[in-house]
Structure 1
Amino acid sequence: MKNTMEYQGYVGTVEFSEEDRVFFGKVLGIRSLLSYEGTTGEELINDFHGVIDDYLAMCKEKKVKPEKAYKGSFNIRISPDLHKKLAIQAIANNMSLNSYIEKTLSAAIA
């Protein structure tokens, strides 16, 4: 069972409250708080889609660019020693540090 779902490039969580007997979630990776809920899986999916559609319509109406999650850029904090070792490995492989880290991360999740 997955605990996320995707619609129009946006990823949302899937959670369940036993106390309230309701599925709920929120859109990940953007500053705007977009949440949704439903008593069935079908209701949850429909509300998730509706929240995204409403958000995009509101952005269009207000002439603002919708936030996009996971733009392909993020900052991480690592030790200076690890940074140095990664840079040396990148040079040894005739790659930029960015390309080397992307290749390494891709291999890690494959």
Structure 2
Amino acid sequence: MDTQNQIPVDAGHYTYRVTWSAEDGEYVASCLEFPSLSWLAPSRADAIDGLERLVAEVVTDMRANGERVPPPLAERSFSGTFNVRIGEHLHRDLVMRAAEEKMSLNQYVTRKLAAG
């Protein structure tokens, strides 16, 4: 049995975003962990409330069908390490820029990523 389905998931722990949809004339709520789901409503609060209820229903259905329920991003563990393949010229350029800043390549790239 999938142990993931034994862990209780609170629908409120997922990552939600609300934006205005000019096309629909309403707010639209979306959830990063469930990209195919959304909810339209006249207010931001109603959009989030509606989507949280929908996500809770989907999680219940997934569990009933033995499907893997995605864990909320906020509850996942991250190693702090990821690999990126880049071209030789970009790699050289980044190393040179890091050296100019008197820092390691790792420090330089981390600073650039954190800056957005």
Give the structure 1 partner of residue 9 of structure 2: none
In the superposition, the TM-score normalised over structure 1's length comes to: 0.55
Runs of 4+ residues over 4 Å off in structure 1: 67-79
Match of 1:37 in 2: 40
CA contact (8 A) 2:16 2:48 kept: no
Q: 1:25 to 1:9 in 2, by over 3 A?
A: closer
> In the TM superposition, what is the alpha-carbon distance from 1:46 to its structure 2 partner?
0.8
Amino acid of the residue matched to residue 51 of structure 1?
L
Identity of aligned residues (%): 20
Q: 5+ residue gaps in structure 1?
A: 1-6
Instruction: Report matched runs for 1:69-84 at 5 Å.
Output: 80-84=88-92
May I ask how many residue pairs the two structures share in their alignment? 97
Q: Which has the higher contact order (CA 8 A, sep 6+)?
A: 2
* Cα displacement string for residues 39-67 of structure 1 (whole angstroms, at most 9, x for unaligned residues): 22231121122233233333333241316
**Structure 2 alignment gaps of length 5 or more:** 1-11
Computed over aligned residues only, the root mean square deviation of the Cα atoms, in angstroms, reads: 3.7
Question: 2: distance between equivalents of 1:60 and 1:85?
Answer: 49
Spell out the pairing of 1:85-96 with structure 2 (5 A cutoff): 85-88=93-96, 89=98, 93-94=103-104
Aligned with 1:57 (options 55, 60, 70) = 60
Residue of structure 1 equivalent to 2:25: 21
Q: CA deviation at 1:31?
A: 6.5
- For residues 81 and 62 of structure 2, the distance between their equivalents in structure 1, rounded to whole angstroms, comes to 23
User: Between Structure 1 and Structure 2, whose CA radius of gyration is higher?
Assistant: 2
